[in-house]
Amino acid sequence: MINYFSNNNFKLKNKQKIRNWLNKAISMENHVVGNINYIFCSDEQLLEINIKYLDHDYYTDIITFDYKENNRVSGDLYLSTDRIIDNAKLNNISFDEEIIRVLIHGILHIIGYNDKSPNESKLMRAKENFYINLYKN
- CB atoms near residue 88 (< 10 Å): 18
Contact criterion met (CB below 8 Å) for 3 and 74: no
82 is in an annotated binding site: no
105 is in an annotated binding site: yes
Pairing of β 2-6 and β 62-66: unpaired
The C-alpha atoms of residue 68 and residue 74 are separated, in whole angstroms, by 5
The C-alpha atoms of residue 110 and residue 71 are separated, in whole angstroms, by 10
109 is in an annotated binding site: yes
The C-alpha atoms of residue 127 and residue 81 are separated, in whole angstroms, by 22
Contact criterion met (CB below 8 Å) for 107 and 36: yes
Annotated binding site for Zn(2+): 105, 109, 115
Q: Which residues are annotated as a binding site?
A: 105, 109, 115
